[in-house]
Chain A
Amino acid sequence: MRFVLVLVIVAVALGLRILVRQTQRNRRLATESDEHGVTPLEPSPHRGGLAIGANLGGVGLVARREILERVRGRIFRVGTIIILLAVGAAIVIPKIHSSTTTPPQKVGVVGAPNAVLTKVIKDSGRRGNVPVRVVSEQSEESARAALRDGDLDVAIVNGDKILVNQPVSSDSTTDTATVVQVLAPELGVLRAYQQAGLSAPQIEQVSRARPVPVESLQHTNKNNKDVNKGTSVIGVILIFLMLNQYNTWILMGVMQEKASRVVEVLLAALRPIQLLGGKVLGIGLVAMGQAILIVGFAFILSKAVGSDLLRGTGALLLLSDLVWLILGYAFYCWLFAAAGSMAERQDQVQTLALPLTLPILIAYVFSITVASSGNPSLLFKVLAYLPPTAPFAMPVLVGLDQVAWWQFLISVLLAIAGTAVMAWIAAGIYRRAVLKSGQRVKLRELQSGPRRPRPTSRPTVDPA
């Protein structure tokens, strides 16, 4: 699994690097062509390399504009700070909470000091996860007085009676109750040993008895599982929030370009796929940057405060969240772009976006439930392989350690394939819908609508 994640990250980094290089190369070619008085971006069958460069140039410019406009926006900056604060709080607060030393339970022992008894008391405290301090008391009366005054929490009289100030019920969870609930049966056993006539060394030996280890066939680590539940839930919430934000950007961005007619000016200079691709890439890079910032921040902060977040598969889970946020964005952005291109007004866009947000919402609620319960159903495991729901379900399975690396890889490949299909469908819808102004475009109109003509395929009349 770790290997797969590293592979995915390396692939993304390589892809970005190639893109940057191509853009630089294109820019260099364009400048050189300028110097030689050649129109640089003219597509020509004899200059295929240049034409590809030109395409990337247009995409690059659109992406650059998107990045600048988004990152400058106050909503983005404030939103990022709020998310960082929330993640920081989620990491630091449990740590502060767990490291705050609760005052130890003061257990007073009336009677002669007894090493075995002291050991039993301390073991009980350890088992109940409550720090314990053993003090000796002169008499039962002084112990009672100390209990009343709050100087003692528990008193043990002659090893056969426990005194507490307030009654302790069996379902009480206070530290005192916990100590008493563990201690009472232990003292009973200790007393039984004494009555059976066991010598002190024998009693000590017997009281050292520990349960035999239980080995399960399925490997699980209860501590990690508990820690990862929290990380899983936080991860799913972040994926949901960020995915919604980026989808809304795409949706509104495309709709506003159409409504303001700026798309007409842009499409006089760009192909529709360049404009769409640039927008998706630009917002995608902002998304990736924001997600890397958040995950990196979570990593560093966890390391710094020694949080449980990174214990066991925690680090892997964070990386998987990052991968699935990007894959989720890649899958959904096309759909939202297509929806945006069919609308010109806010109310139209909301009607169109609703059916698209439904799978996200269902997957989100389902994933939160499973992440909290820790018991994924078969249906949930199936959802982890479907591209629309995998961005939520798969990270939860990773968090629960219920998925093998090859299963993760299959899901990633399915998501990539699904994304390719979505991009193809959405680009077709976008191309046909984005220039149709007036009423909201219906899908039916697009099926039969003619494609935007390509200049080479146009009917030409011999100028002669």
Chain B
Amino acid sequence: MGGLLELEGLRRTFGSLVALDDLTFTVPSGQVVGFLGPNGAGKTTTMRAIFGLIDLDAGVVRWNGTPVGRAQWRRFGYMPEERGLYPGMLVGEQVEYLGRLHGMSPHDAASATRIWLERLEIADRATSKVEALSHGNQQRVQLAAALIHEPELLVLDEPLSGLDPTGIDAIGHVLVDQARSGCCVLFSSHQLDLVEDLCEQVTIIDHGRLVVSGTVDHLASSGARRLVVRVEGERTADWARSLEGVSVSEFAAGAVRLVLDDDVDSDSVLRAAMGAGRVTEFSFGRRRLSEVFREAVR
């Protein structure tokens, strides 16, 4: 397997609303790519554009250099946000049916269905109707349906929303394994800490435009310096707020995260902290994904 998804200059308007505005980015194979953006940023529209489910005003989606079409879509796997299944159909039959629609033989579809339902720990629900399953288990069925035909590209819209920790682990592991085996995985989520754990790369869009794209590692180590300071008995962090060139990014459980401008000396911050009380923690921190996100879509 292995491939490269390229989105180039995607533009789509709905009346006066610009949903996608010259959006360009790539998704390499072998990695889990987090697709982030505030509500209404255009994530779902982008995903639908990859599958030709909306008409683009301009732009092109390419797979390994070829504009995507029917032949490519059949080798992709798609999991739309919530639902996306026949509520009254049996779980096993539904997954098998979708496999067959993607060109699998009856035998291959049946055995792949068994394998995936077992892997996602819902084999015992194969003969239940989808609507009888919990939300988390329905998500697992959806994932099985997206994976059954061993897609080269997996596009998942909010696959982790509303899941309990075991569900998140189960689906998360599958996504990482798929990427390791050479699949191209693109998924959207608002749970940034989960994205940080699962993804090697993130793409952040806002108002239909790309704002940030890069590896999680690079994004965490780039940008302004961050300090984590804990002052005993301090409950307001007022000492930090008055400092020139320093902004409070977060204040929780007695520790304050500060973002320092380039010309600010960290020693001056330490002095100010000591002036406010006994300093019990003072360390340089990496940029969190949530901070990257907030700064990107500000």
Contacts and interface: CB of A to CB of B under 8 A. Distances in A.
Contact of B69 (A260, A261, A455): A455
Interface string A239-269: 0000000000000000011001110111111
Interface string B249-265: 00000000000000000
A43 B70 contact: yes
Interface stretch (A33-41, A99-107, A199-207): A33-41
A30 interface: yes
A234 to B, nearest CB: 33
B101 A266 contact: yes
Interface stretch (A86-94, A146-154, A446-454): A446-454
B101 A58 contact: yes
B75 A262 contact: no
B87 interface: yes
Contacts of A449: 55
Given A69-B88, A451-B55, A261 B80 contact: yes
A458 interface: yes
Nearest to A60: B100
B229 to A, nearest CB: 47
Contact of B75 (A39, A256, A454): A39
Contacts of A262: 83-86
Interface string B63-95: 001011111011110111111111111000000
Interface string A267-281: 111110000000000
A269 B53 CA distance: 11
A460 interface: yes
Nearest to B64: A463
B55 A42 contact: no
Contact of A39 (B67, B69, B103, B145): B103
B288 interface: no
A42 B60 contact: no
Contacts of A43: 70-71
B111 interface: no
Given A262-B83, A268-B76, A459-B60, A435 B105 contact: no
A455 B70 contact: yes
Contact of B78 (A61, A65, A268, A458): A268
Q: What does DSSP make chain B's interface, helix, strand, loop or mixed? A: loop
B15 to A, nearest CB: 10
B56 interface: yes
A174 interface: no
B217 to A, nearest CB: 29
B102 interface: yes
Given A269-B101, A460-B60, A260 B84 contact: yes
Contact of B101 (A39, A44, A61): A61
Interface residues of A, number: 42
A463 B83 contact: no
A27 to B, nearest CB: 8
A218 interface: no
Contacts of A256: 86-87
Given A58-B101, A269-B101, A455-B67, A260 B85 contact: yes
A266 B87 CA distance: 14
Contacts of B184: none
Contacts of A42: 70-71, 74
A39 to B, nearest CB: 7
Given A61-B97, A458-B60, A458-B67, A264 B52 contact: no
A461 B60 contact: yes
B149 to A, nearest CB: 9
A458 B89 CA distance: 36
Contacts of A458: 60, 67, 69
B51 A268 contact: yes
Contacts of B246: none
A34 B60 contact: no
Interface in B238-254: none
Given A43-B71, A455-B69, A264 B101 contact: no
A461 B8 contact: yes
A373 interface: no
B67 A460 contact: yes
25 contacts: A30-B105, A34-B108, A61-B101, A69-B88, A69-B89, A260-B87, A261-B81, A261-B82, A262-B85, A262-B86, A264-B48, A264-B80, A265-B79, A265-B85, A267-B51, A268-B74, A268-B78, A269-B73, A453-B56, A455-B68, A455-B69, A455-B70, A456-B69, A459-B58, A461-B62
Given A256-B86, A459-B58, 7 more contacts: A30-B105, A42-B74, A262-B84, A268-B74, A268-B76, A458-B67, A463-B65
Interface of B: 8, 48, 51-56, 58, 60, 62, 65, 67-71, 73-76, 78-89, 97-98, 100-103, 105, 108, 145-146
Rank and list the top 10 A-B pairs by shortest CB-CB distance, nearest first: A455-B69, A41-B103, A463-B65, A269-B101, A42-B71, A450-B55, A268-B51, A261-B83, A268-B78, A264-B80
Interface of A: 30-31, 34, 39-44, 54, 58, 61-62, 65, 69, 256-257, 260-262, 264-271, 435, 449-456, 458-461, 463
